[in-house]
Chain A
Amino acid sequence: MELQLELQTQRSTRRFLPSPAKLAVNALMLLFTASCILPLLWIGYSSLKTQAEFANNILSLPSAPQFGNYLEAIKLTNMLQLSWNSARVTLLSVIGITAISYVTGYITARIDFKGKKVMIFYYLFGMLVPIHALLVPLYLLFKNFGLADQWYTLIIPYIAFNLSLPIMLISSYVTGIPKEIEEAAAIDGLSFSGTMYRIMLPIAIPVLTTVAILQFFSCWNEFSFALVLLNDESLRTVPLGMSYFKSQHSTNYPQLMAGMILSMLPVTIIYFVFSSRIIAGVMAGAVKG
């Protein structure tokens, strides 16, 4: 992420701004960053208070951490079931997205064929179409085909609606790799498929990782399709389960907060472990997109 650091060192003239301006700018940025994270910290420590303690003073720290709130939240939301459902749907969707977008992205980067431009435009259309307008027709379609309320129901829209960006990302990444590698492989007698999987796939691992992580967030957090396509309580995903929990137990705030923390734990852990890779990926996607 040295992108903008170069800019500063390359400057030939140096102007020293008065330090009040510097202080003000830094204070502003710190305030901005704090506003992104403090509400979440508030949720975090408030989830450890008793209900009375929270009602008494919403800002104070918990006097004795109430981990029981978490046990209650797990029990009331059926969090283990929700997490298992979310994990299954998310994992399979991410595998599907990554596999399909690798093959499609690789082919669009390397092969010219009739209708390629149309296909690229078709996939781009998916990024602009207001997908939530399709909730009604999609529900009717899934019901007609008997695809609603199955354990695999959500995998279908999750793959479809998350293909556009990964295809673009992977395609532009592959375009940046020298073709000589594949030509050498072809001279050695490797087939197209062999080259795609055995030679290029390992080289594309960084972009595939970024795609997989970003789509993990997208699928784990998805709510609308889960809301419309699932009736069966035992199939609910984490965001869906949380919304029912919220409407049924909205008076016990510390417990609700404990549930919220639990529901965002997986993405939080993955984000802070891979944050530099994720940010680099988003910025790369921004430049190329």
Chain B
Amino acid sequence: MGKALRPKGWVLLAYLLPGLIIYSFVVLVPIFAAFRDSFYSWTGGPKKTYISIENYKEILQDNVFWHSFLNNVLMTAYGLIGQVGFGFVFALLLMSKMVKLKGLHRTMSYFPSTLAPVIIAFLWMLIYNYNYGLLNAGLTKLGLDVLVQSWLDLTGPIVLLASIPLSWQNIGFFTLLMLAGLSSINKEVLEVAELDGATGIRKAWYIIIPLAKPTLVVASLLCIANNMRGFEHIYALTGGGPGNSSSVMALYAYETSFLRFRYGYGSALAIAIIALTMLLILLSTLALQRRDSKGGAY
């Protein structure tokens, strides 16, 4: 752009500053504040005791926190299958000429994404309900009465059961994301592949998946970030229960601070969550990129 169009420095700054200030105040300042508070024992009152890295030492031995972390990781794994995996399959099907009513599928499957996580959690609470739940009613109708049970009281598969509503809500978004990625693939490549006799599943496996890799990588990273920060669904669906079996990191930090009034420890947990999440995203970025260059399918 020509010099004539370039605004003066202070004009530029005046335009950019409001956004940067409000963003920094909410995103960056709390991180620094949490870092500072994480070295104190503090119940919220005027008395703050400096305890050096004791909070962090405690985190290392805090079973509930690490259990919550594992739940986050487990939820991420379920999310990668349920959201990215199924989203990709549905996008492939929606690309094929076999499927009718594409507009309807797209519109309806994205609709749950626009609803509040709290409402999604209530809906699934009703679905899982022992006496009045859709799931048990369906099982009874199918003659599978033996499977009827109080779903949200099962400690074993509780993380899976809590992940299903998340996948249910987000699968439409991931389908759209993949559709967008798939439709940007060079059509000539697909034509040549077809002339060479690659169709159906073979075409999907050997041609489309390698070409869609960038989209799959972006989707996976988004999915990891989403599941590591998960809070609202779990808070509203199980409250972390039964016991601590479905607790996630953010929920544990919330409870530690607001129910047990341990603000110093809660701040240390916040720092730990940010560090762990960033580490995981970094590692998965590296892993996905490495496979990218090794694969050589292009």
Contact = CB atoms under 8 A, between A and B. Distances in A.
Given A33-B108, A282-B176, A25 B277 contact: no
Contact of B183 (A3, A13, A21, A243): A3
B270 A286 contact: no
B48 to A, nearest CB: 11
Contacts of B107: 272, 275-276, 279
Interface string A23-53: 0011011101101110110110000000000
B298 interface: no
A243 B118 contact: yes
Contacts of A39: 123, 127, 134
Contact of A239 (B34, B109, B116): B116
Interface in A147-169: 156-157, 159-161, 163, 167
B132 A55 contact: yes
A177 interface: no
B126 A43 contact: yes
B109 A33 contact: yes
Interface in A241-280: 242-243, 246, 253, 256-257, 260, 263-264, 267-268, 271-272, 275-276, 278-279
A43 B20 CA distance: 42
A133 B274 contact: yes
Contacts of A136: 34, 253-254, 257-258, 263, 266-267, 269-270
A236 to B, nearest CB: 12
A223 B194 contact: no
A119 B96 contact: no
Contacts of A246: 122, 236
Looking at chain A's contact residues, the main secondary structure is helix
Interface in B122-149: 122-123, 126-127, 131-134, 137
A134 B181 contact: no
A233 interface: no
A112 B27 CA distance: 25
A228 B180 CA distance: 37
B117 A160 contact: no
Interface residues of A, number: 109
Given A136-B254, A195-B5, A282-B173, A263 B119 contact: yes
28 contacts: A3-B183, A4-B94, A10-B187, A13-B195, A15-B199, A32-B90, A36-B111, A36-B168, A43-B123, A113-B9, A122-B20, A122-B23, A128-B278, A133-B274, A134-B31, A135-B250, A135-B253, A135-B257, A138-B30, A160-B27, A192-B7, A228-B258, A238-B116, A253-B126, A263-B116, A267-B115, A275-B110, A287-B181
Given A4-B182, A22-B98, A182-B5, 18 more contacts: A7-B95, A25-B98, A32-B109, A43-B123, A103-B19, A130-B274, A134-B30, A137-B34, A137-B270, A156-B22, A161-B27, A183-B5, A192-B6, A192-B11, A239-B118, A267-B115, A282-B176, A287-B181
Q: Which 7 A-B pairs have the closest CB atoms?
A: A160-B26, A221-B116, A137-B30, A132-B250, A137-B34, A133-B273, A3-B183
Interface of B: 1-2, 4-7, 9, 11-12, 15-16, 18-20, 22-23, 25-27, 29-31, 33-34, 37, 90, 93-112, 114-119, 122-123, 126-127, 131-134, 137, 168, 171-173, 176-177, 179-184, 187, 190-191, 194-195, 199-200, 215, 218, 225, 228-232, 235-236, 249-250, 253-254, 257-258, 263, 266-267, 269-270, 273-274, 277-278, 281
